[in-house]
Amino acid sequence: MPTKPRIEYLDLAKGICIFLVALFHATAYFSVQMPIAHVFRSIRLPLYFFLSGCFFKPYNGFFDFLKRKTNKLLIPFAFWFLLISIFVVYLYNLLGIHTIYSTPVGPLHDLVTLYKEEDFFNIPIWFLLCLFEINILFYFIHLISYKLSKRYQTPVICILSLLLGIVYVILHNHEIDLPFFIDSALSDLPYFAFGYVCFRHTTILTPNRVDKYIPILLIVLVLFIYFLALKTPISSKDRVDIQDFFCHYLSGFAGASFIILRTKWIKYLPVIRWWGRYSIIILILHGPIYHHFVHIARHLHIMPDQPWIALLIILSLTMLCCSAAIPICKRFFPHVTAQKDLIPIQSPPNNSSIK
């Protein structure tokens, strides 16, 4: 069965998103502050969840859906979590190689910190587990909304998704932490729902006559984000009020819309589009690669005095290595990088243009 052609500017949007993720982790490691960091924060993860929601399908029932999401998200997460936490850490400790991965606690430390939602080795892959949970939550939201009202299914989806966002705020304000990034899943679910609704009920993702106004819309959106986005992340606030809640989501919706319209306007940047097509591979690998470059540079005492210069050099090397690793992963590790299914799927294959 022939597959539908990919929407190139959506791959471009994913490429921009994964680059912003890698850039954020680089700035966090060097403890440098990005200019207008609150604007980038309103774009980075909201966009990724938005794009994931665009191509949600219930497939042939829950168990078929569960197998597909396990193949694409849970198996890559589990494999790379265990590979770094157990194999790499124990191998380095056994060989007496002291790096940021060396720890006397070993994999038990990672399992505990994963439960507590704290830092663990290769922290960027938290997104895969969180997205898996969001897909499961949204599956039941989609099912419940269909059962409640076929005619008003979309408003019900929006209401239920925002209610789960409110549940996150209530838990946060009462200092109740849920394990395994379930808190983040509740918080980011509205972005996923926004992508689902936009894909089915608007023309933002397809060429249309409004596209001639994109330059004006981009200016309006970036001003909207700049003045509305919270300067402090919602997860870092001691208490989130109703104003914070709406500013958080409205700025995130605007950030995702900004990149979608921007990539429709640009249309084609080959390398970044390629990053977007294989963004899961870059997500999985950029953390360990980046940290090893930092360790080598510090060990050889070649780290520049200016942190931004060091950051840009190591970030460039990391993205270069990730790019080189993409064909290797496709060839030798397709089942643990979401390129092929490990669990057999009996139902018709997914023909969506973005997985």
pLDDT score at 7? 75
DSSP assignment string, 73-139 = IIHHHHHHHHIIIIIIHHHHHHHT--STT--SSTHHHHHHHHHHT---TTGGGHHHHHHHHHHHHHH
pLDDT score at 194? 95
pLDDT score at 337? 95
pLDDT score at 351? 44
- pTM, to two decimals: 0.89
pLDDT score at 98? 58
Unique residue bearing structure tokens 């997985």: 355
pLDDT score at 96? 62
Which is it for the CA torsion 14, 17, 23, 29, positive or negative? Answer: negative
Residues of the chain with pLDDT under 70: 1-5, 88-120, 347-355
Q: Mutual orientation of helices 214-228 and 242-266 as an angle, nearest 10°?
A: 150
Give residue limits of the domains in the chain.
Answer: 8-336
Q: What is the per-residue pLDDT across 195-215, written as a single tens digit (0 to 9) for each?
A: 999 988 888 777 888 888 899
Q: Which of 166, 177, 176 is nearest to 117 (CA)?
A: 177
pLDDT score at 140? 96
pLDDT score at 115? 54
Q: How many CB atoms lie within 10 A of CB 228?
A: 16
pLDDT score at 27? 87
Rounded to an integer, what distance in angstroms lies between the CA atom of residue 116 and that of residue 134?
Answer: 18
pLDDT score at 288? 86
